[in-house]
Amino acid sequence: MAGTPADSLPRMIDHWWWRPGWSVGRQFYTWHLTFEDVPDVVRLVRAYDVRLDLPGLDLVPERWLHLTMQGVGFVDEVDRADVDTIVEAATTRLTAVEPFTITLGPAVVDPEVVRMRVNPVEPVTRLRRELRAAIAEVWGRGHVPEDEAGFTPHVSLAYSNRDGDMRPVLNAATAISPNPGTATMTHADLIVLNRDNRQYEWTPHARIRLGG
Protein backbone atom coordinates (compact mmCIF):
# COMPACT_ATOMS: atom_id res chain seq x y z
CA MET A 1 0.00 0.00 0.00
CA ALA A 2 2.95 2.31 0.64
CA GLY A 3 3.70 2.30 -3.08
CA THR A 4 0.11 2.85 -4.15
CA PRO A 5 -0.50 5.95 -6.31
CA ALA A 6 -2.14 8.70 -4.29
CA ASP A 7 -5.15 8.93 -6.60
CA SER A 8 -6.00 5.25 -5.99
CA LEU A 9 -5.76 5.37 -2.19
CA PRO A 10 -8.95 5.44 -0.14
CA ARG A 11 -9.50 8.64 1.79
CA MET A 12 -9.43 9.07 5.53
CA ILE A 13 -12.89 9.58 7.04
CA ASP A 14 -14.06 10.84 10.40
CA HIS A 15 -14.23 7.94 12.87
CA TRP A 16 -16.33 9.87 15.37
CA TRP A 17 -19.64 9.97 13.52
CA TRP A 18 -22.48 8.86 15.77
CA ARG A 19 -23.15 5.23 15.03
CA PRO A 20 -26.66 3.84 15.56
CA GLY A 21 -27.63 3.93 19.22
CA TRP A 22 -24.77 6.15 20.33
CA SER A 23 -25.20 9.70 21.63
CA VAL A 24 -23.42 12.04 24.02
CA GLY A 25 -23.48 10.63 27.55
CA ARG A 26 -24.57 7.12 26.55
CA GLN A 27 -22.50 4.24 27.95
CA PHE A 28 -21.90 0.70 26.79
CA TYR A 29 -20.88 -2.56 28.48
CA THR A 30 -18.11 -4.30 26.54
CA TRP A 31 -15.25 -6.72 27.06
CA HIS A 32 -11.74 -5.42 26.34
CA LEU A 33 -8.16 -6.47 26.78
CA THR A 34 -6.18 -3.56 28.22
CA PHE A 35 -2.51 -2.69 28.29
CA GLU A 36 -1.81 -0.59 31.34
CA ASP A 37 1.68 -1.11 32.76
CA VAL A 38 2.99 -3.09 29.76
CA PRO A 39 6.36 -1.40 29.08
CA ASP A 40 7.03 -3.05 25.72
CA VAL A 41 3.67 -1.93 24.34
CA VAL A 42 4.26 1.60 25.65
CA ARG A 43 7.66 1.64 23.92
CA LEU A 44 6.09 0.68 20.61
CA VAL A 45 3.22 3.14 20.90
CA ARG A 46 5.56 6.01 21.73
CA ALA A 47 7.69 5.22 18.69
CA TYR A 48 4.65 5.50 16.44
CA ASP A 49 3.16 8.49 18.24
CA VAL A 50 6.12 10.66 17.30
CA ARG A 51 5.23 10.12 13.64
CA LEU A 52 1.44 10.07 13.94
CA ASP A 53 1.01 13.35 15.82
CA LEU A 54 -0.62 14.87 12.74
CA PRO A 55 -3.56 17.14 11.98
CA GLY A 56 -6.60 14.97 11.47
CA LEU A 57 -5.57 12.21 13.88
CA ASP A 58 -6.47 11.70 17.54
CA LEU A 59 -3.72 9.67 19.18
CA VAL A 60 -4.90 7.06 21.67
CA PRO A 61 -3.48 7.95 25.11
CA GLU A 62 -1.54 5.13 26.76
CA ARG A 63 -4.18 4.69 29.46
CA TRP A 64 -6.86 4.01 26.83
CA LEU A 65 -4.97 1.44 24.75
CA HIS A 66 -7.22 -1.57 24.22
CA LEU A 67 -8.10 -4.58 22.16
CA THR A 68 -11.86 -4.63 21.62
CA MET A 69 -13.27 -8.10 22.27
CA GLN A 70 -17.05 -8.37 22.62
CA GLY A 71 -19.89 -5.97 23.24
CA VAL A 72 -22.70 -6.68 25.69
CA GLY A 73 -25.07 -3.73 25.35
CA PHE A 74 -25.95 -0.17 26.30
CA VAL A 75 -26.08 0.38 30.04
CA ASP A 76 -29.61 1.76 29.90
CA GLU A 77 -30.86 -1.31 28.01
CA VAL A 78 -29.19 -4.13 29.95
CA ASP A 79 -30.45 -5.44 33.27
CA ARG A 80 -27.70 -5.18 35.90
CA ALA A 81 -28.60 -8.66 37.19
CA ASP A 82 -27.95 -10.05 33.70
CA VAL A 83 -24.56 -8.34 33.62
CA ASP A 84 -23.64 -9.87 36.97
CA THR A 85 -24.70 -13.32 35.78
CA ILE A 86 -22.68 -12.92 32.56
CA VAL A 87 -19.63 -12.02 34.66
CA GLU A 88 -20.17 -15.13 36.79
CA ALA A 89 -20.44 -17.32 33.70
CA ALA A 90 -17.33 -15.75 32.17
CA THR A 91 -15.39 -16.22 35.40
CA THR A 92 -16.11 -19.94 35.31
CA ARG A 93 -15.28 -20.28 31.62
CA LEU A 94 -12.03 -18.33 31.74
CA THR A 95 -10.53 -20.65 34.34
CA ALA A 96 -9.87 -22.94 31.35
CA VAL A 97 -8.14 -20.19 29.33
CA GLU A 98 -4.49 -19.82 30.30
CA PRO A 99 -2.64 -16.49 29.98
CA PHE A 100 -1.12 -16.04 26.54
CA THR A 101 1.42 -13.79 24.86
CA ILE A 102 0.75 -11.68 21.78
CA THR A 103 2.83 -9.35 19.67
CA LEU A 104 1.63 -6.00 18.33
CA GLY A 105 2.72 -4.40 15.09
CA PRO A 106 3.36 -3.32 12.46
CA ALA A 107 0.99 -0.40 11.97
CA VAL A 108 -1.74 -0.56 9.33
CA VAL A 109 -3.70 2.43 8.01
CA ASP A 110 -7.44 2.09 7.44
CA PRO A 111 -9.75 4.95 6.46
CA GLU A 112 -10.88 5.55 10.06
CA VAL A 113 -7.96 4.30 12.14
CA VAL A 114 -4.27 3.55 12.37
CA ARG A 115 -4.05 0.18 14.07
CA MET A 116 -1.49 -2.44 15.01
CA ARG A 117 -1.78 -6.03 13.91
CA VAL A 118 -2.07 -8.67 16.64
CA ASN A 119 -0.41 -12.09 16.42
CA PRO A 120 -1.11 -14.88 17.03
CA VAL A 121 -4.83 -14.47 16.45
CA GLU A 122 -6.01 -17.86 17.73
CA PRO A 123 -5.73 -17.32 21.52
CA VAL A 124 -7.55 -14.00 21.20
CA THR A 125 -10.37 -15.51 19.17
CA ARG A 126 -10.61 -18.43 21.59
CA LEU A 127 -10.99 -16.01 24.50
CA ARG A 128 -13.67 -14.13 22.57
CA ARG A 129 -15.56 -17.37 21.93
CA GLU A 130 -15.62 -18.05 25.67
CA LEU A 131 -16.93 -14.53 26.38
CA ARG A 132 -19.63 -15.02 23.77
CA ALA A 133 -20.51 -18.39 25.29
CA ALA A 134 -20.89 -16.73 28.70
CA ILE A 135 -23.36 -14.25 27.21
CA ALA A 136 -25.19 -17.11 25.48
CA GLU A 137 -25.60 -18.89 28.81
CA VAL A 138 -27.66 -15.94 30.02
CA TRP A 139 -29.45 -14.74 26.87
CA GLY A 140 -29.30 -17.71 24.51
CA ARG A 141 -27.12 -18.20 21.44
CA GLY A 142 -29.44 -16.22 19.20
CA HIS A 143 -29.13 -13.13 21.37
CA VAL A 144 -25.36 -12.69 21.61
CA PRO A 145 -24.54 -9.20 20.25
CA GLU A 146 -22.23 -8.72 17.27
CA ASP A 147 -21.12 -11.29 14.72
CA GLU A 148 -18.72 -14.08 15.57
CA ALA A 149 -17.24 -13.99 12.06
CA GLY A 150 -15.17 -11.11 10.74
CA PHE A 151 -13.44 -10.37 14.04
CA THR A 152 -9.94 -8.95 13.43
CA PRO A 153 -7.94 -8.44 16.63
CA HIS A 154 -6.10 -5.12 16.60
CA VAL A 155 -4.94 -2.31 18.87
CA SER A 156 -5.64 1.21 17.65
CA LEU A 157 -2.93 3.88 17.70
CA ALA A 158 -4.93 6.83 16.36
CA TYR A 159 -8.39 7.66 15.02
CA SER A 160 -9.16 9.90 12.07
CA ASN A 161 -11.20 12.96 13.06
CA ARG A 162 -11.85 14.34 9.58
CA ASP A 163 -12.12 13.44 5.91
CA GLY A 164 -8.87 13.85 4.03
CA ASP A 165 -5.90 12.50 2.11
CA MET A 166 -4.54 9.18 3.36
CA ARG A 167 -1.03 9.66 1.96
CA PRO A 168 0.46 11.74 4.83
CA VAL A 169 -0.90 9.26 7.38
CA LEU A 170 0.36 6.28 5.41
CA ASN A 171 3.79 7.85 4.99
CA ALA A 172 4.02 8.55 8.72
CA ALA A 173 2.91 5.06 9.74
CA THR A 174 5.35 3.32 7.42
CA ALA A 175 8.32 5.64 7.97
CA ILE A 176 9.59 3.47 10.81
CA SER A 177 9.69 -0.26 11.49
CA PRO A 178 10.07 -0.65 15.24
CA ASN A 179 10.36 -4.06 16.83
CA PRO A 180 6.95 -5.52 17.64
CA GLY A 181 5.63 -5.02 21.14
CA THR A 182 5.01 -8.04 23.34
CA ALA A 183 2.28 -8.38 25.97
CA THR A 184 1.17 -11.31 28.09
CA MET A 185 -2.58 -11.21 28.54
CA THR A 186 -3.56 -12.27 32.04
CA HIS A 187 -7.10 -10.92 32.36
CA ALA A 188 -10.20 -9.76 30.51
CA ASP A 189 -12.02 -6.59 31.56
CA LEU A 190 -15.71 -5.80 31.39
CA ILE A 191 -15.83 -2.03 31.14
CA VAL A 192 -18.39 0.76 30.90
CA LEU A 193 -17.40 2.65 27.77
CA ASN A 194 -18.17 6.10 26.40
CA ARG A 195 -16.99 7.96 23.28
CA ASP A 196 -17.91 11.52 24.23
CA ASN A 197 -14.46 13.13 23.93
CA ARG A 198 -13.11 11.74 20.66
CA GLN A 199 -11.64 8.84 22.62
CA TYR A 200 -12.86 5.52 23.92
CA GLU A 201 -12.80 6.10 27.66
CA TRP A 202 -14.15 3.82 30.35
CA THR A 203 -14.61 2.89 33.95
CA PRO A 204 -13.90 -0.72 34.99
CA HIS A 205 -16.80 -2.97 35.94
CA ALA A 206 -15.22 -6.42 36.39
CA ARG A 207 -11.82 -8.01 35.84
CA ILE A 208 -11.48 -11.74 35.29
CA ARG A 209 -8.15 -13.48 35.63
CA LEU A 210 -7.31 -16.03 32.98
CA GLY A 211 -6.63 -19.52 34.30
CA GLY A 212 -8.52 -18.87 37.53
**Full set of structural domains in the chain with CATH:** 24-209 (3.90.1140.10)
pLDDT band for position 5 (50/70/90)? low
Three-state secondary structure string covering 77-142: CCCHHHHHHHHHHHHHHHHHCCCEEEEEEEEEECCCEEEEEEECCHHHHHHHHHHHHHHHHHHCHH
Query: pLDDT tens digits for 127-139?
Result: 999 999 999 999 9
Query: pLDDT tens digits for 169-197?
Result: 999 999 999 999 999 999 999 999 999 99
Q: What are phi and psi of 205, to 5 degrees?
A: -115, -45
Is residue 181 within 8 Å of residue 43, measured between CB atoms?
yes
- Give the pLDDT confidence score for residue 123 in this predicted structure: 98
Report the pLDDT averaged over residues 108-113. Answer: 98
- At residue 1, does pLDDT exceed 60? no
